[in-house]
Amino acid sequence: MSDEVLVSAGEGLLRVTLNRPEKRNPLSRAVLARLRGVFEAHRGDEFGLALLTGAGERSFAAGGDLRDLEQLRTPAQARELYDLGNGALQAIRDFPVPVVAALNGLALGGGAELAAACDLRIAAAHARIGFVHGTLNISPAWGGGSDLVAILGPARGLELLCSARVLSAAEAQTLGLVEAVAAEGEPFADFVERFLAPLRKQRPQVMRAFKWQAAARKLGMARGETGARDRELFAQAWCHADHWQAAANILKKEPTK
């Protein structure tokens, strides 16, 4: 199973890669459990950013692994599947720094939910994303419908769920579901590194504060509910040596009066 989810870490970045490209990187129960374990295990590490992508050029994640899931026929088994998948995606939502989904190809059904659980999404020019659950006569399995609505708003999110439309990368960017799309012919790996470069300049303690503020808004938390946590994260960043070094660098450039 470890070969189906590759994990590497270095220079402040956690990289997680779904690695079953010959089957379009399906989300089996074992893969979902592994994803949850990876993101929960690294919560306390000093990363400023995480990247989630798929191996190959065809697929980010093609959705649930039907070969694995077709035996689950009872309501109790369906609830267990929901809990398993939602637990994996919740570990991504709860990861303390931003998680970027790099859509190297198709993101369909559960794969679209996986992408929506991340904080930011970028895409190859040929990538496509679709909440196609309706074609299987089911609803989103792991909380992804709520994520979609939080990103796009109730009306647009509902329309995409009801139509089961598969969006091109350009269409997804126009709607606000994807933040950036690679140019035609641009190597995707180069595009990913170019997108990540300015984000990787930020310090981990600052990225944790940014993630908290965005996540709180996504959850619809009122300012009164978030103030105490905002205050504490600000105090931690303000008192960190990184802040004072940056301030000193600016002061050195200012002319003395």
**Average pLDDT value for residue range 122-142:** 94
Higher pLDDT, 127 or 67: 127
SS3 content of the chain, % helix, strand, coil (to 5): 55, 15, 30
Strands (DSSP E) found in 46-190: 49-54, 59-61, 99-103, 106-108, 120-123, 128-130, 166-168, 180-181
Q: Is the pLDDT of residue 107 over 70?
A: yes
- Percent of the chain whose pLDDT exceeds 90: 69
Mean pLDDT along residues 63-89: 84
Residues linked to residue 27 through DSSP beta bridges, in sequence order: 64
| Average pLDDT score, the chain | 89
Summarised one tens digit per residue, pLDDT across range 243-253 is: 567 556 756 77
How far apart are the C-alpha atoms of 86 and 154, rounded to whole Å?
A: 20
| pLDDT for position 72 | 77
What percentage of residues in the chain have a pLDDT greater than 70? 86
The tens digit of pLDDT for each residue in 166-208 reads 999 999 999 999 999 999 999 999 999 999 999 999 999 999 9
Position 74 pLDDT exceeds 70:
yes
Quick one: pLDDT at residue 162?
A: 97
- Model confidence over 32-54: pLDDT tens digits? 999 999 999 999 999 999 999 99
Query: In the prediction, which pLDDT does 246 show?
Result: 58
Q: Would you state the pLDDT for residue 66?
A: 74
Architecture of the structural domain at 2-200: Alpha-Beta Complex (3.90)
> pLDDT value at position 202?
95
* pLDDT at res. 227: 53
- The per-residue pLDDT for 187 is 97
| Dist CA 112 CA 116 (whole Å) | 6
Going by their DSSP bridges, the two strands 49-54 and 13-18 should be labelled as: parallel
